[in-house]
Amino acid sequence: MSDHRKHCAGLISLAVHELRTPTAVVSGYLRMVLRHFGENLSDQQRKLLEESEKSCGALARLLSDFADLSQLEEGAVPFKRQPVALWPMLNQVASAVQEGRDRGLALEVEAPKEDVVIEGDPNRLSDAVGSLATAVLRERQGGARVVAAGRVSVLGGSRSAVIAFGDYETASGLAGTFDTLQTNSFDEYRGGLGFRLPAAARIVEAHGGRLASPVSERGRLVIVMALPLTIARAETIA
């Protein structure tokens, strides 16, 4: 880890520490007012206080993500590595992700029947994949067909799983190809998701993987992820 990244991680850690306490205090006072004086409030006053408390909750979650990113930057996050069946994990994430449900969107999974396995932390990987899927779904309008298309490719003699998140036509065409990863960078500081995309990038990198954003226009975001494989079939998991 470079001195610059260590310095940035230290500043992030300090900022989180200094902001958490006042955020918790303000949130606590808002809850107290609503609980003890709610009967004396007008509908408009109650609504404003509830919105303020909701915003404090969002800020607290943002600070938590900020703290996670700081630890990932410092390399201080422990990874509980074990064999992870990739396609079932992808299906679980697709079923759980909530982004876009209010617009009639759902993430489809297009992957080979033969499963592949990677060595990694299942919880951290699920978080990262969920963040990537959320970023893509967030920018789609209702009626769009959004997929996570997975394939297996060989690069430098090693097998890797390449998954493309995006609209059906684009993602299906990019899945399993490494050219995209070699010629495109990853737009990890895209707005609207707090620090979830930078954290996802660090998790993927910690597993020896790579990310790219071959399409980055607003409303058309496509993300491609590659992860090295360690085991050929899920049946080999004891």
What pLDDT does residue 137 have?
A: 94
What pLDDT does residue 2 have?
A: 59
What pLDDT does residue 149 have?
A: 93
pLDDT in tens, 103-158: 999 999 999 888 889 999 999 999 999 999 999 999 888 888 999 999 988 766 78
CA 21 – CA 57 distance, rounded (Å): 13
CA 65 – CA 77 distance, rounded (Å): 13
pLDDT in tens, the chain (238 residues): 556 666 676 777 788 778 888 888 999 989 999 988 888 889 999 999 999 998 988 888 778 877 777 777 777 778 899 999 999 999 999 999 999 999 999 999 999 888 889 999 999 999 999 999 999 999 888 888 999 999 988 766 788 899 999 998 888 888 766 666 677 788 888 877 778 899 999 999 999 999 998 888 888 899 999 999 875 444 433 3
What pLDDT does residue 1 have?
A: 52
225: nearest Cα among 94, 129, 127: 129
Q: Where are the domains of the chain?
A: 3-74, 82-236
What pLDDT does residue 4 have?
A: 64
What pLDDT does residue 5 have?
A: 64
CATH superfamily of 82-236: Histidine kinase-like ATPase, C-terminal domain (3.30.565.10)
CA 33 – CA 41 distance, rounded (Å): 9
Q: Where are the beta strands (DSSP E) in 112-175?
A: 117-120, 146-155, 158-167
The residues near 32 (Cβ < 8 Å, ≥ 6 apart) are none
